[in-house]
Amino acid sequence: MDDGSGEGAMSTNNGVRSAGTERVWAALDSFKIEVPSWGFANTGTRFGKFMQPAAASTIAQKFADAAEVNRLTGAVPTVALHVLWDLPKGLGSVDEIKGLEAKHGIKSGSINPNLFQEQEYKYGSICNPNPEVRAKALAHLIESVEIGKALGSKDVSMWVSDGSNYPGTQSMRRRVEWMEEILGKTHAALGDEQRMLVEYKPFEPAFYHTDIADWGMALELARRAGPKAKVLVDTGHHYQGTNIEQIVAWLLHLNALGGFHFNDRKYADDDLTLGSIDPYQVFRIFHEMLSAKKDETAGVAFMIDQSHNMKGKMEAMVQTVVAAQEMYAKAALVDQEMLAGLQDECRLVEAEECFRSAFWTDVRPLVREWRTARGLPADPLDSLRTGRYLESITREREAANAGAGSSYA
């Protein structure tokens, strides 16, 4: 099999592993990705939601689901928590979470404050003209930092949905000042090992302007907040045609990339399974990670941010983790040294073929071999479907979910 680098994805040649295969195995061994608790729950579209019998409705169920995805894929050591949805008692919920960590052998990942759901936030949270509302938002952020400390979790991951719907109705400049003040105070509360990730999104729910609309704004806000603040790139939060891997390259260069929220989309923030629309983009992003210097990528968190109304929650999550592993393996196949040489000599077609051939190589047999060698199911999706877990949670949760209300998470 020819991958354009001359190495191919065959695992051995007379018992000798190719350099490409070695790179793929090392990449798979190191690859970890965080799953979102909300990806296992009944979440909706803007107009409603279709309830699934096996959806998780308690934090205990979400932990159990995340642990099962980890058991199937070997790549999910942490689950992201949304404070309002998963820790309704705030710090008072920490003991329960610690118990679930111990029970399931996975840890709490990023802590996601919720600055968008409560009535007070109609005109914004940390950018709200009302100082009392801003104080409420700050208190929630500080509590989220404290929850992170108590759980030993590294990242407080902030998505600020603030903005306005009509021109002239808000002062964009004053809102920047309010935001800077609160982000600075939140940063000051962080522990030594903690970071603050600033997520951006150009559209919805504020249709005219969102206060953190793109990576430039997120970067500047992070810089002003302090050295523990980094930018979070959610792949669904860009305009059509944006070159996301170029943003990744810049943020890596500036030592400002904190992590990713991975998902796919066709139109806007669709939160679809990874690579379902554009796997080449995932490959290109992973290539930026793998071709960067080690100190530039240290600490960059891979997280999933997806939700599904149509696909089964567990199946969708396993699909995404498997797609991520496969795309990462493909990106690891690129012979970086050869590619750099071709780029320097401007041998354009050869450089493109070297790059593209790695993408077109079917790495699935190799990934399967790696899974088996690591004691993991060779086909995680098939194992999920034929195993007992899905069947038992469907049976157990069906009755409870039939009468469930329709809160977002």
Binding of residue 101 to Mn ion (CB under 5 A): no
As a dihedral over the C-alpha atoms of residue 16, residue 20, residue 21, residue 27, rounded to 10 degrees, the angle is 140
Beta strand pairing call for 257-262 and 301-304:
parallel
Q: Which of residues 216-245 bind ligand PSV (CB under 6 A)?
A: 234
Closest to Mn ion by CB, 234 or 288: 234
Among ligand PSV, Mn ion, none, partner that 25 touches (CB below 5 to 8 angstroms by kind): none
Question: What is the distance between the alpha carbons of residues 335 and 21, in angstroms, rounded to a whole number?
Answer: 11
Q: How far is the CB of 159 from Mn ion (least distance, A)?
A: 6
User: Residue 162 and residue 144: Cα distance in Å, rounded?
Assistant: 18
Of 34, 199, 326, 335, the one binding ligand PSV (CB under 6 A) is 199
Contacts (CB under 6 A) with ligand PSV, residues 15-44: 38
Write out the binding residues for Mn ion, residues 219-278 only, by CB under 5 A.
234, 261, 269
Q: Is 302 exposed, middle or buried (0-12, 13-18, 19+ CB in 10 A)?
A: middle
Per the omega criterion (within 30 degrees of 0), is the bond before 205 cis? yes
Residues in region 279-308 near ligand PSV by CB under 6 A? 305
**Residue 403, amino acid:** G
* Residue in 18, 16, 14 with CA at minimum distance from that of residue 2: 18
CB 43 within 8 A of CB 406: no
- Minimum separation from the CB atom of position 319 to ligand PSV (A): 19
Residue 155 binding: pick among ligand PSV, Mn ion, none (C-beta 5-8 Å cut-off by kind): none
When CB distances are held under 5 to 8 angstroms depending on the partner's kind, the choice from Mn ion, ligand PSV, none that residue 313 binds is none
Residue number with the smallest Cβ distance to ligand PSV: 159
CB 38 within 8 A of CB 380: no
Smallest separation, CB 4 to ligand PSV (Å): 35
Identify what 162 binds: ligand PSV, Mn ion, none; CB under 5 to 8 Å per kind: none
Cα(51)–Cα(43) distance, rounded to whole angstroms? 8
Residue 155 binds Mn ion, judged by CB under 5 A: no
Cα gap 113→153, rounded to integer Å: 13
Partner touching 112 among Mn ion, ligand PSV, none, CB below 5 to 8 Å by kind:
ligand PSV
Q: Count of residues binding Mn ion (CB under 5 A)?
A: 4
Write out the two tokens for 140.
Answer: 């929630």
Of positions 23, 71, 238, 261, contacts ligand PSV by CB under 6 A: 261
Min. distance of Cβ 110 from Mn ion in angstroms?
10
Rounded to an integer, what distance in angstroms lies between the CA atom of residue 112 and that of residue 24? 32
Between residue 288 and residue 317, which ones bind Mn ion under the rule CB under 5 A?
Answer: 305
Is the CB of 137 or the CB of 331 nearer to ligand PSV?
A: 137
Task: Quote the tokens at residue 256.
Answer: 């400002």
**C-alpha distances out from residue 98 to 93, 112, 204, 269, 282, Å:** 9, 17, 35, 32, 33
- Residue 211 or 234: which CB sits closer to Mn ion? 234
Query: What DSSP letter does each residue of 357-392 carry, written as one string?
Result: HHHHS--HHHHHHHHHHTTS-SSHHHHHHHSHHHHH
Query: Is residue 112 part of the contact set for ligand PSV (CB under 6 A)?
Result: yes
Q: Which does 262 bind (CB under 5 to 8 A by kind): ligand PSV, Mn ion, none?
A: none
- Provide, rounded to whole angstroms, the least separation between the CB of residue 36 and ligand PSV: 7
- Say if CB 202 and CB 234 are below 8 A apart: no
Backbone angles phi, psi at 213, to 5 degrees: -90, -25
Task: Give min distance, CB of 263 to Mn ion, in A.
Answer: 7
Q: Closer to ligand PSV at the Cβ: 197 or 384?
A: 197
Rg of the chain over all Cα atoms, to the nearest angstrom: 22
* Count of residues that bind ligand PSV according to CB under 6 A: 9
Among ligand PSV, Mn ion, none, the one that 288 touches (CB under a kind-dependent 5 to 8 A) is none
The residue from 31, 40, 85, 159 that contacts ligand PSV (CB under 6 A) is 159
Pair 106, 77: CB distance under 8 Å: yes
Interface residues with Mn ion (CB under 5 A) are 234, 261, 269, 305
Interface residues with ligand PSV (CB under 6 A) are 38, 112, 159, 199, 201, 234, 261, 269, 305
